[in-house]
Amino acid sequence: MNEPDFPIKLESGAPMVRFAKVRKSYGELTVLDDLDFDVQKNEIVSIIGPSGSGKTTVLRMLMTLEQIDHGVIYVDGEPLTHMGKNGKLVRANNRYVRSMRSKIGMVFQHFNLFPHMTALQNCMEAPVQVLGMSKQEASDRSEELLQMVGLEDKIHQHPARLSGGQQQRVAIARALAMRPEILLFDEVTSALDPEVIGEVLGVIRQLAAEHNLTMIMVTHQMGFAREISDRVCFFYDGKIEEQGSPTKLFDNPENERTRQFLSAVLDAG
Amino acid sequence: MLEWKWAYSLEILPRLLSAAVNTLIAAGIGYLIALVVGLVFALLQRTGVRPVTFIVREIVEFIRSTPLVVQIFFVFYVGPQFGIRLSPWASGMIAIGLHYASYLSEVYRAGLDNVPKGQWEACKALNLNPVKTYFRIIIPQAIPPSLPAMGNYLISIFKDTPMLSVIGVAELVHTATTIGTETYRYVEPYTLVGLIFLAISLPAAFGLRRFEAWVARYFGMTK
């Protein structure tokens, strides 16, 4: 690793998330190409772009579901994909990754709720098993969270008995139960029926307004991205082609590709 | 001329029924060994450590490709050559347990493979460690769909217990043979053995189906 490019620790005042020259390819296919990408604390960033542009990969790497080929990802000033060892940056071991991962939570496109557990048990599982919280406390907190997402009457239901929108709201509560500092939303409405998308977006809107969370979301809901985001990034071919405030990006896109993409999705929508 | 003697049948019935208890114990212990060792086999094959995966895979294949009765003889008669001297019961339980463990490991393997990738990712995102991921999330989802196959092997192991008679375990068939050699009458003991097996297998199969349905309901897997 080239040391000047990749410090072991970022200076104070560093962004909440920093991708430094991150590269990822699957065989011949380059998904991310020397990506530099910062997200500030409490910032809400939407990532838009055509499929295959590397949007979801950004989230999956940040959640450590996938390894990066080159570069370093930092979270809260500390390296995530690497760790300092004898003054050098080396690949992070499992233990280190586990310690860093607790700052990050993720909500998935297909919810990924545990089907053998009730909504409440889904939310309690990680606080009890990972954080060592008492069952009573975890249960109380989970109930609060499920109430917050509007599911107080469904806490003892298994996921199979819930609608897609309800399942996704449980998934949001489950992620929040771990008190992450960064919450990732990976196309969380893409698998939902149109009529329940609103209830999930409502929960995210409420989170954005009431909680101090850094949120990064990959979305196809342009209207929602515009409404909620501090910044919108247009990904194309593994790079950020254009980024800026929602007003700038949606109303005055400078880049030709951005313009093409937006006119295509907005026409379709 | 074949002749059925009711009085004789009634006289030997208690002996056969107490042997049936032995059969049930043998099947039960053998199955418990198979359940646990089978899971260990399945999990070891998923460690990703090449030599471990390879060796366990070969052991499973070897056991599955050789007859149970040979394995029973092997443990009982060849074991002492290596200084391992076991009672017929212990030898039988080890042989039948390992034999069915290798079959059950394949059932577990299929079950584990069928748990969607998203479940693993959710566990990772929630920072559950690998042991908790397996035992709290993945295995509980892998078991219910595997129950029919697991149940079939339970009945199978029960029906294979007569093989233990070859090393002198006093289960049903061994007892029937003993009675036969004492009295020179084989019709009644063997017929009764068949009926006893039937009387246990049929309700057991029915009970297993009910159990599967209950598990599916309990875990909320059914829509």
Q: How far is B145 from chain A (nearest CA, A)?
A: 12
pLDDT for position B1:
57
Q: Residue B221: is its pLDDT beyond 60? A: no
* Alpha-carbon gap, residue B159 to B172, rounded angstroms: 11
Average pLDDT over residues A49-53: 87
pLDDT at A4 over 70: no
The Cα A132–Cα A135 span in angstroms is 9
Overall domain count for chain B: 1
Of residues B223 and A225, which shows the higher confidence score?
A: A225
Residue B12 distance to chain A (closest CA, Å): 49
The Cα–Cα gap between B126 and A123 comes to 10
pLDDT surpassing 90 at residue B200:
yes
Domain at B130, CATH number: 1.10.3720.10
**Whole-number percent of chain A with pLDDT over 90:** 84
Cβ–Cβ gap B127/A130 under 8 Å:
yes
Distances (CA, A) of A150 to A146, A160, A206, A250, B46: 6, 18, 11, 32, 40
β-pairing, A78-79 vs A29-39, is: unpaired
Which tens digits make up the pLDDT trace of B22-70? 999 999 999 999 999 999 999 999 988 999 999 999 999 999 999 999 9
Q: What angle do CA B26, B29, B33 make, to 5 degrees?
A: 135
| Helix B6-44, helix B172-183: angle, nearest 10 | 150
Determine the residue among B117, B121, B127 to mutate to test chain A binding: the one whose Cβ has the most chain A Cβ atoms within 10 Å. B127
CB nearest A110 (choices: B118, B127, B128): B118
Q: Read off the pLDDT of each residue in A197-212 and give the average, rounded to a whole number.
A: 92
Q: Which two tokens stand for residue A149?
A: 């997402």
Average pLDDT on A45-51 reads: 94
Instruction: Report yes or no on B189 lying in a domain.
Output: yes
Indicate which of A98, A114, A161 best probes the interface with B, i.e. most B CBs within 10 Å of its own CB. A114
Q: Is A142 helix (H, G, I), strand (E, B) or coil?
A: helix
Residue B223 domain-assigned? Answer: no
pLDDT tens for A107-142 read 999 999 999 999 999 999 999 999 999 999 999 999
* Cβ <8 Å between A125 and B141: no
In the prediction, which pLDDT does B222 show?
Answer: 53
Neighbouring C-beta atoms of residue B66, cutoff 10 Å: 12
Distances, alpha carbon A154 to alpha carbons A113, A141, B23, in Å: 14, 15, 48
Average pLDDT, chain A: 93
With respect to residue B63, please indicate whether it lies within any of the assigned structural domains: yes
- Closest residue of B to A171, CA-based? B122
Instruction: Grade residue B223 by pLDDT with cuts at 50, 70 and 90.
Output: very low
pLDDT tens-place string over residues B95-133: 999 999 999 999 999 999 999 999 999 999 999 999 999
- Predicted confidence band of residue A269 (pLDDT cuts 50, 70, 90): low
User: Is B48 among the domain residues?
Assistant: yes
Is position B1 within any domain?
A: no
What residues of A are in contact with residue B122 (Cβ under 8 Å)? 108, 112-114
Share of chain B above pLDDT 70, in %: 97
- Which of B110, B151, B113, B144 minimizes the C-alpha distance to A160? B144
Tens of pLDDT, residues A130-184: 999 999 999 999 999 999 999 999 999 999 999 999 999 999 999 999 999 999 9
Mean pLDDT of chain B: 92
DSSP assignment, residue A238?
A: T
DSSP A131: S
Distance of CA B199 to the CA centre of its chain: 19
Q: Look at the pTM and tell me if it is higher than 0.80.
A: yes
Report if residue B183 sits inside a domain: yes
Nearest to A126 among B121, B127, B223 (CB): B127
Mean pLDDT across the stretch B74-84?
Answer: 90
Q: What is the phi/psi pair of residue A176, to 5°?
A: -70, -30
Is B144 inside a domain boundary? yes
* Nearest CA-CA partner of B173 in B10, B26, B7, B45: B26
Summarised one tens digit per residue, pLDDT across range B139-160 is 999 998 899 999 999 999 999 9
Alpha-carbon distance of A254 to B6, in angstroms, equals: 99
Position B53 in a domain: yes
Residue B220 has pLDDT above 70, yes or no: no
Q: Which residues, in sequence order, are CB contacts of B36 under 8 Å at separation 6+?
A: B101
Question: Angle B157-B162-B165 (CA atoms, 0-180°, nearest 5)?
Answer: 135
DSSP state of A117: S
The range of the structural domain enclosing residue B87 comes to 6-218
